[in-house]
Amino acid sequence: MLRLPENPGTGFRWVAESDAAGGLEPVGDDFAAPDPMLPGAVGQRVLSFRTPAAGRIRLSVKLWREWEGERSVKARHEFLIVVH
């Protein structure tokens, strides 16, 4: 499970880059709103994955506005996931 800060009011959303998620099966994509929910408050995007086997998997995520395309990418992160 991966939790990333997100403010949906900006239109930016965290997503796993499909070509970079090889070996991971997405099983959840949720938004956890802050408590209390205030205008402009930052919540968390919660991305969940399942792995088919042990090994090392690289996961890349980006914060973007999908309708604006790649030019809208505000941030990217890469994670190395080690499954035993």
Per-residue pLDDT for 19 more than 90? no
pLDDT of residue 64: 98
The total domain count for the chain is: 1
Segments forming the whole domain that contains residue 21: 2-83
pLDDT of residue 3: 96
pTM: predicted TM-score of the whole model, two decimal places: 0.86
Distance, in Å, from the CA atom of 12 to the CA atom of 40, rounded to the nearest integer, reads 13
Q: Give me the CATH number covering residue 45.
A: 2.60.40.2020
Nearest to 62, CA basis, from 25, 15, 29: 15
pLDDT of residue 16: 93
Confidence of residue 22 (pLDDT cuts 50, 70, 90): low
Please count the other Cβ atoms lying within 10 Å of the Cβ belonging to residue 12: 19
